[in-house]
Amino acid sequence: MSKLKIAKIGYDAGTELDERNFKFNSKNVFKIAFTGNLSVSVHYIDDGFGGAIGEAENSFTHGLGYVPIGFAFDKDTGGQIPMFWHAGAGVAASISYRLDNNKIYISVSDTGVYGWIGDTIVFNFRYQIMYDKIA
């Protein structure tokens, strides 16, 4: 079976052995199935230790029937998830994601100062789900 191979300028696709010197060599490339926005609304409550805590999760249903490769990013900062930060004085946040055979879930766990109790903050994310399979 013949294969489509496209070498970078200066290289011969018929004889080149170094994979880096191809633009495309018929090896798999990730194929995007879904991209979209997902927001997580976090409401802060009393953590019982003099501070505030907010935890929330949202999901997108991909419905592929298998666990796909997927990525998530913070839309406001452009940062790649997972993200962790610790600002000191009990202010810290953890953002992570997971995938199963039906959905991608993005989770936020944020701790802050007492004055945050009762506040709601919306975190905005962008996901990319591939057709390529994990399991």
What is the contact surface with another protein in residues (CB under 8 A)? Answer: 4, 6, 8-9, 19-20, 22-25, 27-30, 67, 69, 71-72, 81-82, 84, 96-101, 132, 134-135
Residue with Cβ nearer another protein (84 or 114):
84
Residue with Cβ nearer another protein (31 or 89):
31
To the nearest whole angstrom, how small is the minimum distance from the Cβ of residue 8 to another protein? Answer: 7
Distance between CA atoms of residues 53 and 114, nearest Å: 9
Residue with Cβ nearer another protein (29 or 89):
29
Q: Which residue matches tokens 């970078």?
A: 8
Q: Which residues contact 43 (CB under 8 A, 6 or more apart)?
A: 54, 56, 119, 120
